[in-house]
Structure 1
Amino acid sequence: MNHIHIDLSQINPRVLKAYYYSDGKKYKKPHELKERSVYDYEIELITYSDGGMYIDRIYHPVSRGDIIVRRPGQMTKAVLPYTCYAVILDLMDNTGKNSETYDFNKSQEYQQSYSCPPLDRIPPVVKASAFERYSVLFDAILKEYINPGPDSATLLKGYCLQLLCIISRETIRPDGHQGDGSAYRTLIRNVIEYVEQNISNRIMLKDLAAVAGMSPNYFHRVFTRAMGMTPNEFVISKKMNRARELLATTSKSIADISLECGFDNIAYFSYVFKRYSGITPSSFRVAYSYPLRQT
Structure 2
Amino acid sequence: MQGVPIAFSQIIPRVLKAYYYLDGKKYGKRHELRERTIYDYEIELITYSAGGMYIDKVYYPVAKGDIIFRKPGQTTKAVLPYTCYAVILDIMDNTGKDSATYDFNRPQAYQQFYTCPALDRIPPVIKATAFEQYSVLFDAILKEYINPGPESETLLKGYCLELLCRISREAIRPVGGLGDGSAYRTVLRHVAEYVEQNISKKILLKDLAAVAGMSPNYFHRVFTKTMGMTPNAFIISKKMNKARELLATTCDTIADISLKCGFDNVAYFSYVFRRYSGITPSAFRVAYTYPVEQE
TM-score w.r.t. length of structure 1: 0.61
Q: Does 1:95 align with 2:109?
A: no
Q: How many residues align?
A: 186
Match of 2:6, as an amino acid? I
Distance 1:160 1:184 in 2: 33
Q: Does 1:151 align with 2:175?
A: no
What displacement does 1:173 show? 1.6
Deviations 1:231-287 (A, max 9, x none): xxxxxxxxxxxxxxxxxxxxxxxxxxxxxxxxxxxxxxxxxxxxxxxxxxxxxxxxx
Aligned residue for 1:53, secondary structure, equals strand
Q: Which residue of 2 aligns with 1:46?
A: 46
Deviations 1:208-253 (A, max 9, x none): xxxxxxxxxxxxxxxxx9xxxxxxxxxxxxxxxxxxxxxxxxxxxx
Aligned residue for 1:96, secondary structure, equals coil
Q: Which runs of 5+ in 1 are unaligned?
A: 186-224, 226-295
Q: Does 1:21 align with 2:21?
A: yes
What displacement does 1:184 show? 6.9
Q: Does 1:182 align with 2:196?
A: yes
Q: Which residue of 1 aligns with 2:242?
A: none
Q: Which residue of 1 aligns with 2:111?
A: 111
Evaluate the alpha carbon distance shift between residue 178 and residue 40 of structure 1 in structure 2; reply closer, same or farther with a 3 A threshold: farther
Aligned residue for 1:171, secondary structure, equals helix
Match of 1:183, as an amino acid? Q
Q: Which residue of 1 aligns with 2:121?
A: 121
What displacement does 1:178 show? 8.6
Q: Which residue of 1 aligns with 2:5?
A: 5
On the 8 A contact 1:129/1:178 being kept in 2, the answer is no
Aligned residue for 1:139, secondary structure, equals helix
Aligned residue for 2:172, secondary structure, equals coil
Distance 2:20 2:103 in 1: 15
Evaluate the alpha carbon distance shift between residue 95 and residue 149 of structure 1 in structure 2; reply closer, same or farther with a 3 A threshold: same
Q: How many percent identity over aligned positions?
A: 73
Higher relative CO (Cα under 8 Å, sequence separation at least 6) belongs to 1
Match of 2:142, as an amino acid? L
What displacement does 1:150 show? 1.6
Q: Does 1:162 align with 2:162?
A: yes
Q: Which runs of 5+ in 2 are unaligned?
A: 176-188, 200-244, 246-295
Distance 1:39 1:128 in 2: 25
Aligned positions of 1:274-289 closer than 5 A: none
What displacement does 1:183 show? 2.6
Evaluate the alpha carbon distance shift between residue 12 and residue 184 of structure 1 in structure 2; reply closer, same or farther with a 3 A threshold: farther
Deviations 1:54-96 (A, max 9, x none): 0000000000000000000000000000000000000000000
Evaluate the alpha carbon distance shift between residue 184 and residue 144 of structure 1 in structure 2; reply closer, same or farther with a 3 A threshold: farther
What displacement does 1:174 show? 3.1
Deviations 1:96-137 (A, max 9, x none): 000000000000000000000010000000011110000000
Aligned residue for 1:89, secondary structure, equals strand
Evaluate the alpha carbon distance shift between residue 178 and residue 139 of structure 1 in structure 2; reply closer, same or farther with a 3 A threshold: farther
After TM superposition, the runs of 4+ consecutive aligned structure 1 residues lying more than 6 A away are none
On the 8 A contact 1:44/1:87 being kept in 2, the answer is yes
Bigger CA radius of gyration: 2
Distance 1:57 1:178 in 2: 32
Distance 1:144 1:182 in 2: 34
Aligned residue for 2:43, secondary structure, equals strand
Deviations 1:131-188 (A, max 9, x none): 0000000000001000001210000000000000000000112335999x93379xxx
